[in-house]
Amino acid sequence: MAAGMAVTDPAKEATTRFLRTQFHRYYESTKPTLPDRFGRREFGFMFWTPGIVQRHLGFSKEEELKDFLVSRVPTHAYYSSAYYDHPNAPTMEEKGWLGADLIFDLDADHLPKAASMSYAEMLEAIRLKIVHLYDDFLQSDFGFDPKAMRLVFSGGRGYHIHVFDERVWSLGSHERREIVDYVTGKGLEVGSVFRESAFDRKDFQGFTRVKTRLVAPTSEDAGWRGKIMRGVNGLAAKLEGLSPNEAIKFLTSFEGVTDADASNLYDNLFKPRATKPRIIRGIDRLREGQIESLSDRSRDLIIRLVKELQPVRDDAQAGVSLEGIVQRGETDEPVTSDIKRLIRMPSSLHGKTGLRVVTLTRGAIDDFRPLRDAVPKTWTDDRVHVNLKNKITMEIRGEVFNLAPGVNDVPQYLAIFLAARGLATVVPEA
């Protein structure tokens, strides 16, 4: 062999060839889902050779896009959240920016316990978070019409929400950052959601003494006031369902919460207070809106925990990257790419899973399970020999597989998933 020639890996080559063939088959038999204002979008693609990226492409007809997908067979396909005068111009200045959708991207990679979760568990955890973002922020607080929002399974480990309400199109980076700050609770003074109310006043020798009490918001209140109170009641209810030891263990799992803090809060909530005609506890008064029935120490702790439990955050601890608006880890720097971001194209395939990028309604996402519902119908039950690195236990398309390391004979749909994720190679034909 000539010096300097790269050594080929037959298994790796066979795997790439296999995946590319199946992706080609998919794109040949599938009608692409076109974004709104399709002709104003920039498209970008990644291919089977790492590092090869092609962007600054525009398509004016569906047939052009389909022909590109069938002939070039990309591993990943994206389009811009922005609209342009000339989407295929080579520089941003020449494109002529007209506006952009608002894109939220929640990725399971950043979940605090992602390393110990299975793929299916990660997907379920992030599905619950995207529903919370959709229901409790975008629809409830911002009032976006469901007809102007689209939920999308990314094909990988996350979900997106595309807001294409025309009121957001013209927003710049600063305004989009403010939306993120609101959603993530940045700078939220939790104490400000409670107000003091005078309930007793006494005048004595020229002095006035006023007694005040804290008045909590109701669960029905708009914005963060209602969220905090729903969170307080929800956390109290969760603790009520646990044994004392389990509750203490759960509370001390939060950073900075000592056994003494946890015990104090638990007693404050659940220790019976003998009053007639019934025995009443702190949690019962809390449910009646009497937050002052808790000690200051317990009240401050439960509110801090509620804020930490709010699932939509953009920091590493709470694990959400709001891609398209702000880049994780760079929240203190001006972000210029947020209004020109490329987002994964619905109906395309994800090169690292072989799953479809699926558009979902709010009603459909509750029962959506990616490993059942995002496996393309194009993938068959034909048997494929794959070489597994490690043992695998997983469910896909409703069938459970327990596979040992080494060569296994598996259905094509599972072979594609394992090969795309790098968990197996396809055995080269002799």
Any idea which residues carry the catalytic annotation?
105, 107, 332
Q: At a CB cut-off of 8 Å and minimum separation 6, what does 263 contact?
A: 248
Q: Which helix (H) or strand (E) holds 98?
A: strand 97-100
| Residue ranges in 38-172 assigned as alpha helix (H) | 62-72, 92-95, 119-132
Residue with tokens 């959708």: 101
What are the residues whose beta carbons fall under 8 Å from the beta carbon of 258, sequence distance 6 or more? 252
Structure tokens, 190: 């939790």
CA–centroid distance for 393 within its chain: 25
Residue 197's beta-bridge partner residues?
A: 213
Cβ pair 75, 48 in contact under 8 A? yes
Beta bridge partners of 406: 388
CA–CA dist 146, 163 (Å, integer): 9
DSSP state of 357: P
Q: How far is CA 250 from the centre of its chain?
A: 24
